[in-house]
Structure 1
Amino acid sequence: MKLTFGSDQSDIEKIRDFAKWPLEIGEGKLGGINDGETVIDIPDDILINDPHDPIGSLIDFFPGDEVEYLSSDSICQYKFVHDKFDANLYSPDVLNGLKVSGLPNHKLVLKIDVLVMLLRNIDQKNGLCNGTRLQVISLGKRIIEARIISETNIGNRTFIPRMSLTPSEKKIPFKFRRSQSPLAVCFAITINKSQGQSLSKVGLFLKHPVFSHGQLYVALSRVQSIDGLKLLILDNDGRVTNKTSNVVYKEVFGNL
């Protein structure tokens, strides 16, 4: 029901066929009925099979034009920690190269649909808090439109502007100001953190197999169609494989 909502009638049948596969995994029916941990085969058409650069092939599954955002950095002249501090020693290039916890980097490279994390509390009432994850919808010259995909207000659209930010890191012997969108790219999230999300594309990297009930089902059911799903699975020797573990304990369904 979640996958077909808002879809064209021509796509609904294809979506329903795809939905049967993760359901069989979630119910422990794929590859024969099992109760506990079993090994299943993954279809070749959704596998990353490149033995030379599998991570690169997984990244290439997410195409799109990059948009680069550069910050404007400057010294806070009135907040010197040391009286003899010489601001001329710190050129804009030096300030641009500083990477401080809780502060966006000087260079922020984004694509449409990429996942990002908010680094500041902007609007707590509407779910825009430090740590909130969002998915980029559009990229303007001075503002970024994104959809909330975690915590409260999931699905709401919002606009993230450039902000003037000052780090609180005490190890730096001076104060400086960075004007940048308070975002960091979320290169990956855990399967458990992905619960409740519905995404257009999912790249699942199984360096190690799942280990808890229903974990594989949760990962595979985040995507809206089979065209938006790719799996990279490695065996114990680090080689690409088409087999992975599925964990389903039937006693969980006993009292439903």
Structure 2
Amino acid sequence: MKTADEKEFANWLLLGDGKLSNTDGLHIDTIEIPQDFITKGSLITKIFGYTITMKQVQDNPDRAILCPKNEDTFKINDEILGLMEGEEKEYLSIDSIVSDDPQEQLNFPTEFLNSMTPSGMPVHRLKIKVSATIILLRNLNTKKGLCNGTRFIVTDLKPNLIYAEVLTGPAQSQIIFLPKINFLPNDSELPFKLKQRQFLIRVSFAMTINKSQGQTLQKVGIYLPYPVFAHGQL
């Protein structure tokens, strides 16, 4: 994250100078965030305003709320979608396991597979609206600049296609058709090989701190209901 124009914040990130205050008796390794950095009202309103329209998103594509965990982004994105005008559409994934053993397939019912969201995978129940911002979870076409982390604004929703305008990268302002795709997660901790058919996207008004790496963002809110995992993540 570049902070060239935010000298006070950039200096605050230099945690090794020993000048951080700790007036509440916190653990020595715990960082106390200055009150000037904490919003008194709604973080959503502070970043996106009271209304969210397609024109506002197009005019301000470099805004986001960053969270430590995926579960926080899901909650905030659902809340923002609820504030937006327009009809909400829902796309369900088709989940299965890759196995030649019928018995193994019976061991993992569809409801269980639907409940899983491994790292880097889209959600089973994708809720979305026209004007929502979304982020690509896999490289789709690197030659055209459609890479993991590319952000879009949704312009139209079809039964099997999402029309979206590219917000970032070399393909900026182009209209792209996003299809559902079959793919496998990279999570090796699963005791089986999960196969999912879904759009390779997530709503990205809020995204994880890790996912924001490489993004150019001018107005950012950081949602910290609990401490981050490491100094580097903060």
- TM interval, shorter chain, is 0.5 to 0.7
- Cα deviation 1:157-197 (Å, max 9, x = unaligned): 1000000011121110100210000001102378x8345xx
Cα deviation for residue 207 of structure 1 reads 7.9
Q: 1:188 aligns with which of 206, 227, 233?
A: 206
Q: Write out the 4+ residue segments of structure 1 that deviate beyond 4 Å after TM superposition.
A: 55-61, 204-208
Q: In 1, are the aligned partners of 2:81 and 2:128 still within 8 Å (CA)?
A: no
- Cα deviation 1:25-57 (Å, max 9, x = unaligned): xxxxxxxxxxxxxxxxxxxxx975xxxxxx999
Q: 1:168 aligns with which of 154, 170, 186?
A: 186
Aligned CA distance change for structure 1 residues 181 and 113 (closer, same or farther; 3 Å):
same
1:81-160 alignment, distance < 5 Å: 86-160=104-178
Cα deviation for residue 127 of structure 1 reads 1.3
| Identity fraction in percent | 31
Distance 2:173 2:91 in 1: 25
SS in 1 for 2:216: helix
Aligned CA distance change for structure 1 residues 188 and 103 (closer, same or farther; 3 Å):
closer
Number of equivalences: 144
Query: What is the identity, as a one-letter code, of the residue corresponding to 2:91?
Result: Y
- Give the structure 1 partner of residue 32 of structure 2: none
Aligned CA distance change for structure 1 residues 205 and 193 (closer, same or farther; 3 Å):
closer
- Give the structure 1 partner of residue 55 of structure 2: none
1:1-256 alignment, distance < 5 Å: 61-78=83-100, 86-188=104-206, 193-194=216-217
Q: In 2, are the aligned partners of 1:121 and 1:129 still within 8 Å (CA)?
A: yes
Cα deviation for residue 86 of structure 1 reads 2.9
- Structure 2 stretches lacking a partner, 5+ long: 1-47, 51-76, 224-234
- Cα deviation 1:71-90 (Å, max 9, x = unaligned): 01111114x8xxxx833121
Query: Which structure has the larger Rg?
Result: 1
Distance 2:113 2:192 in 1: 11
Distance 1:59 1:176 in 2: 29
Q: In 1, are the aligned partners of 2:145 and 2:171 still within 8 Å (CA)?
A: yes
